[in-house]
Amino acid sequence: MTRPMSEATIERMAADALDIAASPFKKDFPLLAANPNLAFLDSAATAQRPKSVLDAQRRFYETMNANPLRGLYSLSVEATKAIADVRTSIARRIGAVDEAGAPHADEVVFTRNASESLNLVAKCFAPCALKPGDEVAITIMEHHSNLIPWQQACAQAGAKLVYLHPDHTDGAWRISDDEIRAKVGPRTRIVAVGHVSNVLGVENPVRKLARAVHANGGYLVVDGAQSVPHMAVDVRELGADFFVFSAHKAFGPLGIGVLWGRGELLERMPPLLTGGEMIDSVTQQDAVWAPAPEKFEAGTQDAAGIFATGAALEYLNETVGIQTAAAREAALMAYAMERLLALPGIDILGPHDHRARHGAIAFNVRGVHPHDVASILDARDVCIRAGHHCAQPLLAWMGAENLACCRASIAFYNDKADIDALIDGLEYVKQLFGRGE
């Protein structure tokens, strides 16, 4: 039996967890532990996974592997229970609960990724909600995953796609109340918004958008791909009707996405895919769908991935603690922005105030193509993303040269050394391009 930790030990661990001079978490991530000199600053594209997640994936195959849902033997029952438990855990963590706090596990649908979740809503829900002349409102900063499905849904329904633009005159890059009043009106049937922008890092005013669209009987779809890894989420409090995220950006495995939707809406929607495991009964000419969530989960699910997703959420929420993660990231963001803003020749895209940014910092080295910056940093073991970040309309609207920028993104496992490696690398880029000061 392990001895209970002393209060002093607990306090020291809490202090270590918040100290960004070093990361007490890198040791939990096999890839980071094996590459101590790697500055991984691309977690907004995909995060690293802790050992507990990799172990869970393996444990599934080693101890409970069977086809879930259909089996009548104990292994299959165990696999089925593993999926059901993760559904319940997700419902609880995102606030999909009733007044008494009981989780609505049946409102949690597993997909392959956030893109598939958004496509499911746009293809199966939007046609029930849109008629010619209606409007769908999204922001100019949406990831293509929360943009192209709405272009398609609008084209099919004869509806109009309307864009909300952030106000950058005060440097805050927020969607203003005036903008919401101007763009979300009686014809708006759906507002689809990224909770946090993958380029600008800003948190969008989701609650205000919910009130505006609900006032006219419309629906709110929230893309939480960039918020779930960084902050506590409560779908009821946000006023969302649908909420999506990807496991792989939240320290889970690749290939698992989540769609949460209000029960009565999921009930109204037809399935996107049909086949095995999504029916109640089938005759020669007809079929009766199973209730949600199974209705939307045709075919055998990646049960091991779902089980590992449960381990990822447990790691983030229990082992690290979402408050600790958020506090570390806020301190890292403050440090990174201070150092970047002190570096001549760096243009920041989006807010300069570190408090307005979650996870992502978009920037350019003046006069140097972002792809050159990324290649030079790569040779110094600094991983950043460069390109259009699946947000071409945003970069076009901002007038970004080459429709491209660099993006460094942080997670709680980063530390000051990662930021220092980025800054040193950028100094070197400027030196190579003859722009050193």
Partner 1 sequence: MADLYRSATFMEHGLHPDCKYELDDATHEHEGVNPSCGDELKLQLRVRDGVIEEAAFTGHGCAISQASADIMADLITGKTTDEAKRLAELFMSMVRGEALDEAAIADLGEAAQLKDIAHMPARVKCAQLAWRTLDTMI
Pick the binder of partner 1 from 51, 59, 123, 369 (CB under 8 A): 369
Candidates 124, 154, 390, 406; catalytic one: 390
Closer residue to partner 1 (CB): 231 or 386: 386
Q: Does 390 participate in catalysis according to the annotation? A: yes
> What is the C-alpha separation between 371 and 386, in angstroms, rounded?
6
Closer residue to partner 1 (CB): 400 or 419: 400
432 touches partner 1 (CB under 8 A): yes
At its nearest, how many Å lie between partner 1 and the CB of residue 147?
17
Q: Please spell the DSSP secondary structure of 4-36, one letter per residue.
A: PPPHHHHHHHHHHHH-TTS-TTGGGSHHHHH-T
388 touches partner 1 (CB under 8 A): yes
At its nearest, how many Å lie between partner 1 and the CB of residue 351?
24
Pick the binder of partner 1 from 34, 286, 379, 399 (CB under 8 A): 379
At its nearest, how many Å lie between partner 1 and the CB of residue 322?
34
- Name which of 218, 222, 141 is nearest 185 in CA terms: 218
> What is the C-alpha separation between 23 and 428, in angstroms, rounded?
25
Q: Do 188 and 213 meet the contact criterion of CB atoms below 8 Å apart? A: yes
Closer residue to partner 1 (CB): 32 or 377: 377
- Name which of 179, 176, 192 is nearest 138 in CA terms: 192
DSSP E strand boundaries for 271-335: 279-282, 287-289
372 touches partner 1 (CB under 8 A): yes
* AA letter at 211: R
Q: Do 350 and 173 meet the contact criterion of CB atoms below 8 Å apart? A: yes
Closer residue to partner 1 (CB): 136 or 391: 391
Q: Which helix (H) or strand (E) holds 108?
A: strand 108-111
Closer residue to partner 1 (CB): 84 or 403: 403
Site string for partner 1, 144-183 (x = CB under 8 A): ----------------------------------------
Q: Please spell the DSSP secondary structure of 137-169, one letter per residue.
A: EEETT--GGGTHHHHHHHHHHT-EEEEE--B-T
Site residue total, partner 1 (CB under 8 A): 18
Report CA 217 to chain centroid distance, whole Å.
27
402 touches partner 1 (CB under 8 A): yes
At its nearest, how many Å lie between partner 1 and the CB of residue 291?
42
Pick the binder of partner 1 from 403, 420, 424, 427 (CB under 8 A): 403
Q: Do 135 and 160 meet the contact criterion of CB atoms below 8 Å apart? A: yes
Pick the binder of partner 1 from 317, 387, 393, 420 (CB under 8 A): 387
378 touches partner 1 (CB under 8 A): yes
Interactions with partner 1, residue window 293-352 (CB under 8 A) = none
Name the token pair of 25: 């978490």
Pick the binder of partner 1 from 376, 382, 394, 422 (CB under 8 A): 376
Closer residue to partner 1 (CB): 148 or 279: 148
At its nearest, how many Å lie between partner 1 and the CB of residue 388?
8
At its nearest, how many Å lie between partner 1 and the CB of residue 344?
18
Listed in sequence order, the residues at least 6 apart from 123 whose beta carbon sits closer than 8 Å to its beta carbon are: 149, 152, 153, 272
Listed in sequence order, the residues at least 6 apart from 82 whose beta carbon sits closer than 8 Å to its beta carbon are: 60, 64, 68, 303, 306, 307, 310
- Paired strand residues for 194: 223
Q: Do 177 and 124 meet the contact criterion of CB atoms below 8 Å apart? A: no
At its nearest, how many Å lie between partner 1 and the CB of residue 369?
3
Annotated catalytic residues are 390
Footprint of partner 1 on this chain (CB under 8 A)? Answer: 368-372, 375-376, 378-379, 387-388, 401-404, 432-434
